[in-house]
Each structure stands twice: as structure tokens, then as C-alpha cells.
Amino acid sequence: MTTKIVFSKKCLDYTCPDSPETAARVGTAINFLKAKKFSFLEPEPCVDQDLFFVHDAVYVEKVKKGTIADVDSPAIDNIYEYAKLSAGAAIAAAKNSGFSLMRPPGHHVGIKGAALGVLTRGFCYFNNIAIAVRVLGKQTLILDIDGHHGNGTEEIFLGDKKVTYLSVHRAYIYPRTGQITRLNCLNFGLLDNCGAKTYLDALKKALGSLDLSKTELIAVSAGFDTQAGDLASLQLDAKTFREIGRLIGSLNKPTFFVFEGGYDGQAVGEDIDAFLRGFESKR
């Protein structure tokens, strides 16, 4: 496998109380991928300046001081450092065409915190993929395959001429945004029991509608909670993720990946393995 997994075991050191966003969801996946002989890259935290490409200074200060808390995203000790390391890992993934497999995730957090009128940040603190995209500054397609709509990413890039945001997600669940396509933010909502064929048909149609002639980079918000039984299940399995990987690989652009949702560590490991094998089979 040529795609490196960007990971630091420091991201396993904190606990989100009473939350499905556990250290095990990443730790178990990492152990699975180690056994599959993936290679790994150790990230550095991003610098404060990188955060300001995306986030409002007042919000950044609140994360630093630990004065931000909502029911999904509490003010955990040292969360500022963990969140900067996760953002730094996304930047390293962007620079090395890698897969950042870190926590906390990022796609629900907008410019000033909770995004597009949603009350919570869905386990997120800084928008890792948005920060990486802004640091590289290229003409980018952000492809969000997490089962939840990336309301934070949409808020950040709405109207940005350098970025197209495309999300395929489950409709009518948290955060309940992404029901319509606006400007450069293209949204495709699917129903909970849709299954692999409907999903893949929708993704093919969505990708087929794009003009990628000027696209220099593809950034994938790689969530795996559409897996059958997970929080945003669309009844997908590892075989479907292999096909999704193949579709993305066949776009033939420099690509990187940032982990978002996916709450069963064993399934996440198997899905990432299948997904990256599918992706690389087309390179």
C-alpha cells in the first residue's frame, strides 16, 4: 500500500465521557491496519496560525481556555492540544497524499464553532479537513462520504471559488442540514435503508455531474458510519467501501483522506483497508 496512515497514539489519550466517540474506535482500527502491513507517518500539531485560515480568533481562544462545551463536545482537559494535533495530521495527510486516522473529528465545526444554526459540534473542535485545504490553497474538491452532512465544512466554504464541497449523506438525521444544494455546496441525501446499489448509483451520478478540469486536489472527509449498524447506517459494508475507493481513485487526481465518523473500531479498520485497496487499484 502506498497510502500512508497518519497517526499519533497521543490521540488515544483522552476520553469523551458517555460518548460513542471513543479512543477504541481509532485504536482498534489502527491495530487492524498494522496487522495488514500499512505504513504510518507521525504527525506534528498544526501551528496556531493554521487555525485562523478557517476559524474565528474568539472561537480558537475559547477552545484554548476550555470554555467551550456542548453535549456532544465537552471541554476536555488539553483538548486544544489534541485538536491541534488532529488538524496537523490532516495537513500532513494533504502534503503526503495520506490518510489521517485521528480524533477528534472535524466536519461539524464551522467558523465560530457550531455551524449553520445547529446547536452542537458533533464531537468536533477544529475543522481538520478545512484547515488542510486552506493551508495547501489549491483548487479543491472536498468529497464528504461521512453518513452525516458536514455542516461545518459547508459553512466554511460556501461561496468559496477555490472549493467545491460535495456531500453524500443520510437525510433527516443530525445535523439535519444539507437538504439542498447551494452555490458550490452540492448535497445528496439518502434514506436509511438505501443499501449499496442506491448509494453507489448516487455517488456515481454526483461525481459525474462535476467538472473536474480545474481541480488540483481531492480532499475526502472519510467517515465510515454509513456501515450497517453504525450511527448513520445506509446498510453499507466493506465491499461497498472498496467500490467507493475505486470510484475516487478513478478520478485520477492527487487525493488525501481525513477520518470523520465511524464508531465500531473493528468495522472501521476493515472498511479503511477495503477502501484504500479499492482506491489504489485505480491508481
The span of 30-38, 40-48, 59-67, 225-233 binding Zn ion (CB under 5 A) equals 225-233
Helical axes 265-281 vs 23-35, angle rounded to 10°? 50
In the shown chain, the binding pattern of residues 234 to 263 toward Zn ion, with x for contact by CB under 5 A and - for none, equals ---------------------------x--
Cell of 212: 473536474
Instruction: Examine residue 106 and tell whether it contacts Zn ion (CB under 5 A).
Output: no
Instruction: Examine residue 144 and tell whether it contacts Zn ion (CB under 5 A).
Output: no
Instruction: Examine residue 189 and tell whether it contacts Zn ion (CB under 5 A).
Output: no
Query: Measured from the CB atom, is 164 or 227 closer to Zn ion?
Result: 227
Query: Measured from the CB atom, is 140 or 227 closer to Zn ion?
Result: 227
The span of 62-70, 223-231, 239-247, 268-276 binding Zn ion (CB under 5 A) equals 223-231
Q: Give min distance, CB of 56 to Zn ion, in A.
A: 24
Query: Measured from the CB atom, is 130 or 135 closer to Zn ion?
Result: 130
Instruction: Examine residue 148 and tell whether it contacts Zn ion (CB under 5 A).
Output: yes
**What distance in Å separates the CA atoms of residue 99 and residue 30, rounded to the nearest whole number?**
12
The span of 62-70, 79-87, 145-153, 197-205 binding Zn ion (CB under 5 A) equals 145-153
Q: Which of 104, 175, 223, 245 binds Zn ion (CB under 5 A)?
A: 223
Q: Give min distance, CB of 132 to Zn ion, in A.
A: 18
HEC assignment per residue over the chain: CCCCEECCHHHHCCCCCCCCCCHHHHHHHHHHHHHCCCCEECCCCCCHHHHCCCCCHHHHHHHHHCCCCCCCCCCCCCHHHHHHHHHHHHHHHHHHCCEECCCCCCCCEECCEECCCCCCCCCCCCCHHHHHHHHHCCCEEEEECCCCCCHHHHHHHCCCCCEEEEEEEECCCCCCCCCCCECCEEEEEECCCCHHHHHHHHHHHHHHCCCCCCCCEEEEEECCCCECCCCCCCCECHHHHHHHHHHHHCCCCCEEEEECCCCCHHHHHHHHHHHHHHHHHCC
Instruction: Examine residue 146 and tell whether it contacts Zn ion (CB under 5 A).
Output: yes
Do residues 5 and 30 lie in contact, with contact meaning Cβ atoms separated by under 8 Å?
A: yes
Instruction: Examine residue 72 and tell whether it contacts Zn ion (CB under 5 A).
Output: no
Q: Give min distance, CB of 186 to Zn ion, in A.
A: 18
Q: Give min distance, CB of 209 to Zn ion, in A.
A: 23
Query: Measured from the CB atom, is 20 or 66 closer to Zn ion?
Result: 20
Closest residue by beta carbon to Zn ion: 261
Q: Which of 133, 93, 108 is nearest to 7 (CA)?
A: 93
Residues in the chain: 283
Instruction: Examine residue 103 and tell whether it contacts Zn ion (CB under 5 A).
Output: no
Instruction: Examine residue 273 and tell whether it contacts Zn ion (CB under 5 A).
Output: no
Query: Measured from the CB atom, is 60 or 130 closer to Zn ion?
Result: 130
Q: What number of chain residues touch Zn ion (CB under 5 A)?
A: 6
Q: Which of 21, 144, 225, 264 binds Zn ion (CB under 5 A)?
A: 225
**In the complex, which residues of this chain contact Zn ion (CB under 5 A)?**
146-148, 223, 225, 261
